[in-house]
Amino acid sequence: MIGVLLCIGLMYACSPKIKTVLSSGQQVKSLAYDAEVYVYSVNESVPDGVIKIAQISLGDTGFTLKCNYETMLEKAKQEARKVGANVLKITQHKTPSLLGSACHRLKVTLCKSDALDLLEKHETSRAANYLGDVEYALLHVYRYSGAGSMINYNLKLGDATLCRVKNNFKTTIKIKKEGLNRLSAKTESKTELPFDVVFGKEYFLRCSVKTGAFVGRPKLEFVSYQNGKVEFENFKAKRDETRLSNK
């Protein structure tokens, strides 16, 4: 019995800290577990006519393990469905830091809208991810503070070096070579990632360092357009090199 209670306690300690405050007088029926919840970032305005239902905050217990942006956002969506909200407006987004928390921390306003056609139209326009009729793609590269802060590495496209990836860093690069290629980075070992470049598209690459035998290995992962755009725009990097480099 004690072992079971201990496991339950550890499970909750490792989960994000969530606090929900309901707006007074709002009684809305819960939504289905898989109902669509429309997300608006810090820099976006919610549609007119929405009803504010609750305020929530998602943070770090001090023992929270899985707290990347996708996980925290999904937790926020779950809370939204519980209180009947289908619009989620992020009001504050704190990214991981070396001397602070390793978690993404969010403050969110939950709202209800009956104008589903407007919400769907807005979502479709955001998902288009199209820069226009241009002969380049944009690659947004970013790396939070965290493990392996002293380890830097070159990010390469094929044999060409795109940038030097440092701790607490972001940059945007014009890619002028269309078609299937590969991204790579190397410290004690080499990491490779296929990259199918389509002109007119934006791509978001989250970089980090994972545990290695001696030094640590580069970790490269593409992030969805919607999540990557939020992460990149809200990340106030100490090393901000977002002037457009041409490659």
Tell me: do 110 and 182 sit in the same domain.
no
Tell me: do 154 and 180 sit in the same domain.
yes
Mean pLDDT (whole number) for 127-132: 76
Tell me: do 67 and 149 sit in the same domain.
no
Report the C-alpha dihedral over residues 116, 71, 67, 224, rounded to 10 degrees: -90
Mean pLDDT (whole number) for 110-118: 89
CA 108, CA 20: separation in Å to the nearest integer?
9
Q: Please report, rounded to a whole number, the percentage of residues in the chain having pLDDT higher than 90.
A: 46
- Under 8 Å between Cβ of 110 and 22: no
- pLDDT score recorded for residue 240: 85
Q: Has residue 9 been placed in a domain? A: no
Tell me: do 64 and 148 sit in the same domain.
no
Confidence grade of residue 5 (pLDDT, cut at 50, 70, 90) = very low
DSSP 29: P
Of 126, 150, 176, the residue at which a domain comes to its end is 126
- What's the structural domain count of the chain? 2
CA 247, CA 233: separation in Å to the nearest integer?
22
| Predicted TM-score of the model (pTM) | 0.74
Tell me: do 78 and 25 sit in the same domain.
yes
- Under 8 Å between Cβ of 187 and 169: no
- pLDDT score recorded for residue 244: 62
Helix axes 116-127, 225-234, angle to 10 degrees: 80
Q: Has residue 171 been placed in a domain? A: yes
In whole angstroms, how far apart are CA 106 and each of 86, 120, 145, 161, 235? 17, 24, 17, 35, 13
Q: Has residue 204 been placed in a domain? A: yes
Confidence grade of residue 183 (pLDDT, cut at 50, 70, 90) = very high
Tell me: do 188 and 109 sit in the same domain.
no
Q: Please provide the distance, in angstroms rounded to a whole number, between the alpha carbons at the two ends of the chain.
A: 61
Strand ranges across the sheet with 87-94 = 17-22, 51-59, 105-112, 87-94, 38-40
Which residue range(s) make up the domain with 151? 137-246
pLDDT one-digit tens code per residue, 59-69: 888 766 688 88
Confidence grade of residue 11 (pLDDT, cut at 50, 70, 90) = very low
Tell me: do 94 and 29 sit in the same domain.
yes
Tell me: do 103 and 148 sit in the same domain.
no
Of 98, 126, 154, the residue at which a domain comes to its end is 126
Q: Has residue 132 been placed in a domain? A: no
Mean pLDDT (whole number) for 111-115: 91
Of 126, 151, 184, the residue at which a domain comes to its end is 126
Tell me: do 154 and 59 sit in the same domain.
no
